[in-house]
Amino acid sequence: MTGATLDPARTSLDYPVVPVGALLAGSARRFGDRTAVHFAGRELSYSQLYERACAFANALGAAGVGRGDVVALHLPNCPQYPIAYYGTLLAGATFSPTNPLLPHADLAAQLADCGAVAAVSWAPAAPALAAVRHSTAIRLVLVTDREQALDPAHRVALDGLADAVDFEAFHADAPVTDPAVAVDVYRDLAHLAYTGGTTGRSKGVQVPHRNVVVNSLQYACWGTGSVPALDDRGGVVLDQQAPAEEYPVRLGNSVTINLTPWFHAMGTIGGLNVPVLGGGTTVLHERFDPGAYLVDAEKFRVTGMGGAPPLFGALLRHPEFATRDLSSVRGVSSGAAPMPVEMIEALHRRFGDDVVIVEGYGLTEVTMGATLGPAWRSGVRKVGTVGLPVYDTEVRIVAPEGGDLTPLPPGEAGEVCIRGPQVMVGYKDRPEETAATLVDGWLRTGDIGAIDEDGYLSIVDRKKDMLLYKGYNVYPRELEELLFAQGAVTGAAVVGRPDPMVGELPVAFVVAPGLGETDAGALMETVNEQVLPYKRLRELHLVDEIPVSAAGKVLKRELRERLR
């Protein structure tokens, strides 16, 4: 095993020059029979996952799908997903994640844009794929379902799906050895992922193997106190050099429940590659049921809890959150959207000071992430921030308008820019948008943030969510934080209503069970008393829920459409 020495003040890592498949290969040899994935009673060990991924890779190669080809995974989280994900990459092909709930038009547009020649689909979603296939380049369709997730011997009913092939049958008899396809890790795309579409039509983000390996190691090493190493066959393993006092969860001992979709960047890297590198066991849930989540958190003795803020909001509201035995939990992490300060404080009250609570920040254009709060026990965590830049990553705040990349002073809000080895190579077939986003080596994120004197980043808002009222900037997150601070509020989002006289008027959508319309005015007045006049809410609507994407991001576009 070769690796560097851990330095507590380390800001850089020595990343092995290997393709993504080496992440699973190293862990399979190291963790062997340990459970990698648990799904409704079925368990898939690390050795089994690697063997099935190799078989899938070999089957793809035999079907003429390989280096330079795109394979779309049109699946929810299930054991078949990591088999197909790693198998696609081991075959030298490019993985393109596809939400199985996409409407027909969006599905057709994404599949045509990515140029997929093969797709793995979920039986209930397969008819949608079949309906749009004529407008794509797809020549191979593999179908699987829940029954096959539980029992690989089950064969999927393919009635009505012209020339579709059963997923498990496709690779059942293929060799279980690594096909050893040559990959240019700097040029060959591992991921062709699509932006969330919260502000418009999704764009294809091009991410080479090198980016995926780097970003996975940035977060895996940051979270475990490790450095990268290679085993004697070129597989990636972690060398955990930090003491148990700082990182009480050791490699090969973590257990998490994952609800973050693997078709989202945070899911693919943070919810799949990072646990695989650490030898963790991932328990999959098909949908979010707070009660079922808490039952399994106690049953499986989870060591970490991760997800987007809506997950934690629902857990905090559940009566069993306070009574279930969650003493095994050692860390809580949140991403996809800023977590309200009140929510963080409530989690601290529940878990105490021994549990590390961190927020991270990223976007599809940086493979997944760029910052994270200190994951070690003695680290300084600042509530309301999304932490520090991870290894080999620079974050700069610049003026939100114009092309000047001069950094603003500490504490001053501006556009967040990122530079690092995980930044995308560009958008597929969108040179103008790529040129506007990648400027002199920096990625302009479109997010508004500030960096304090210690280097901690705070996200103020999306630049596109910022409101302009009589020329003044109004940041919705400030108003949302004030709303969340009110005891009855469990969900809040603020958007602008266009007004020809002043620009935009701040309007709040609020989830507050138990409150009636007569209380809405008092709630709005309470918030408005705490802000300057130009920031005041002009309307407050009580709603049953706030619309969010599969990754947990608030869909403010939908709220704006309601106002129209």
Token digits for 91? 């075959």
Comparing 461 with 313, the larger pLDDT belongs to: 313
In this structure, are 362 and 389 located in the same domain?
A: yes
Helix (H, G, I), strand (E, B) or coil at 119: strand
At 519, which CATH number? 3.30.300.30
Residue 386: predicted pLDDT: 93
pLDDT-based confidence at residue 563 (cuts at 50, 70, 90): confident
In this structure, are 489 and 445 located in the same domain?
A: no
Residue 277: predicted pLDDT: 98
Q: 96-114 pLDDT, tens per residue?
A: 999 999 889 899 999 999 9
In this structure, are 497 and 556 located in the same domain?
A: yes
- Residues in Cβ contact with 180 at an 8 Å cutoff, skipping those fewer than 6 apart: none
- Residues in Cβ contact with 551 at an 8 Å cutoff, skipping those fewer than 6 apart: 196, 260, 261, 264, 266, 267, 308, 336
- Residue 481 buriedness (CB in 10 A; 0-12 / 13-18 / 19+): middle
Q: Residues 533-553: what's their mean pLDDT?
A: 86
Residue 258: inside a domain: no
Final residue in a domain of this structure, among 439, 464, 489: 464
Q: 110-158 pLDDT, tens per residue?
A: 999 999 999 999 999 999 999 999 999 999 999 999 999 999 999 999 9
Final residue in a domain of this structure, among 402, 436, 464: 464
In this structure, are 302 and 374 located in the same domain?
A: yes
Residue 375: inside a domain: yes
In this structure, are 531 and 422 located in the same domain?
A: no
Residue 196: predicted pLDDT: 67
On average, the pLDDT of the chain sits at: 92
Residue 455: predicted pLDDT: 95
**What percent of the chain clears pLDDT 90, i.e. is strictly above it?**
74
In this structure, what DSSP letter does residue 244 have? T
pLDDT at 445 over 70: yes
Residue 23: inside a domain: no
pLDDT-based confidence at residue 197 (cuts at 50, 70, 90): low
In this structure, are 483 and 392 located in the same domain?
A: no
Q: Residues 410-427: what's their mean pLDDT?
A: 96
In this structure, are 446 and 500 located in the same domain?
A: no
Output the DSSP codes for 302-345. -SEEEE-HHHHHHHHHSGGGTTS--TT--EEEE-SSPPPHHHHH
In this structure, are 474 and 446 located in the same domain?
A: no
pLDDT-based confidence at residue 207 (cuts at 50, 70, 90): very high
Residue 1: predicted pLDDT: 34
**What percent of the chain clears pLDDT 70, i.e. is strictly above it?**
96
In this structure, are 83 and 56 located in the same domain?
A: yes
Q: 318-365 pLDDT, tens per residue?
A: 999 999 999 999 999 988 777 888 888 899 999 988 899 999 999 999
**Structural domain total, the chain:** 3
Residue 259: inside a domain: no
In this structure, are 164 and 196 located in the same domain?
A: yes
Residue 240: inside a domain: no
In this structure, are 347 and 479 located in the same domain?
A: no
In this structure, are 343 and 478 located in the same domain?
A: no
Q: What is the dihedral of CA 258, 363, 333, 72, to 10 degrees?
A: 10
Residue 442: inside a domain: yes
- Residues in Cβ contact with 8 at an 8 Å cutoff, skipping those fewer than 6 apart: 242
Q: Residues 25-36: what's their mean pLDDT?
A: 98
Residue 8: predicted pLDDT: 54
Q: 45-74 pLDDT, tens per residue?
A: 999 999 999 999 999 999 999 999 999 999
Residue 116: predicted pLDDT: 98
Rounded alpha-carbon distances, angstroms, from residue 317 to 284, 308, 324, 489, 562:
22, 15, 13, 11, 27
Q: Residues 384-411: what's their mean pLDDT?
A: 93
Residue 2: predicted pLDDT: 35
Q: 253-285 pLDDT, tens per residue?
A: 999 999 999 999 999 999 999 999 999 999 999
Residue 220: inside a domain: no
Q: Residues 470-491: what's their mean pLDDT?
A: 83
Rounded alpha-carbon distances, angstroms, from residue 329 to 140, 333, 353:
43, 11, 12
At 145, which CATH number? 3.40.50.12780
Between helix 476-484 and helix 341-351 the angle, nearest 10°, is 40
pLDDT-based confidence at residue 5 (cuts at 50, 70, 90): very low
pLDDT-based confidence at residue 511 (cuts at 50, 70, 90): very high
Could you give the residue ranges of the DSSP H alpha helices within 91-247?
104-114, 126-132, 146-150, 167-171, 209-224
Q: Residues 475-491: what's their mean pLDDT?
A: 86
Domain limits at 515? 467-563
Global confidence as pTM: 0.87
Tell me how far apart the terminal alpha carbons of the chain are, to the nearest angstrom. 61
Residue whose tokens read 């899911």? 267
Residue 219: inside a domain: no
Final residue in a domain of this structure, among 208, 235, 252: 208
